[in-house]
Amino acid sequence: MAPQALILPQSFYNRNTLAVAEELLGKVFRRTISSSTLSGRIVETEAYIAKNDPACHAFNGRTDRNEIMFGPPGFAYVYFTYGMHYCLNFVTEPEGVAAAVLIRALEPISGIETMKANRKTDKITNLCSGPAKLTQALSITKEDNGLPLFEGNFLVEDDGFLDFDIVTTTRIGIRQGAEFPWRFYIKDSPYVSRK
């Protein structure tokens, strides 16, 4: 009998961002929208920490856009980028420390037909294999910015899945701070954004 999935408590996020980014791998992100449940297993993450990280949105200080990054931890930070895509992040560290984990890719679990319609593709490995793809698949927009991850419509659950190895690499898709080895993904997963 499979173990009961446990919702990660807010305290899970109130820790070192690199540890959270790595430990989120294998967890299940679940969202409820219009009485439908869409979910996927987190297979790829990247850490962003304002202190000494020029790629972090809060590197130059607090703004209206990045306010949510300054805490409290355990909330969604959703931002719009390149004038066309949303990205989903989980706020980490104690309140006042600006940091978050970008969710780069998911392995779809439930609501797959809805995801296919949202993404206009039938290829399951292409549904959530990138930060913009997964927000499109799960209908995540800036209206979801600030939602808690431990209650309500956004939840992150631990279902006990641990059968994987983790690859650590430098971050991708950024110009500054690309040298930091702050990207983590599940080895051999066909759902990661790119290797």
For residue range 54-85, list pLDDT tens digits in order: 776 777 667 777 888 888 999 999 998 766 78
**pLDDT in the model for residue 55:** 72
Domains of the chain: 6-179 (3.10.300.10)
Q: What is the mean pLDDT of the chain?
A: 91
Separation between Cα atoms, residue 189 and residue 37, nearest integer Å: 23
Q: Give the number of C-alpha atoms closer than 13 A to the C-alpha of residue 38, restricted to the C-beta side.
A: 21
The overall pTM is greater than 0.85: yes
Q: Is the pLDDT assigned to residue 2 strictly greater than 60?
A: no
DSSP per position, 137-157: HTT--GGGTT-BSEETTEEEE
**pLDDT in the model for residue 5:** 83
Q: Give the number of C-alpha atoms closer than 13 A to the C-alpha of residue 13, restricted to the C-beta side.
A: 31
Per-residue pLDDT, averaged over 16-40, amounts to 95
Residue type at 85 in one-letter notation: H
**pLDDT in the model for residue 71:** 82
**pLDDT in the model for residue 151:** 95
**Contact yes or no for 106/42 (Cβ under 8 A):** yes
Per-residue pLDDT, averaged over 133-139, amounts to 97
Alpha helices in the chain, H assignment, sequence order: 10-13, 17-23, 112-119, 131-137
Structure tokens at 22: 């790595």
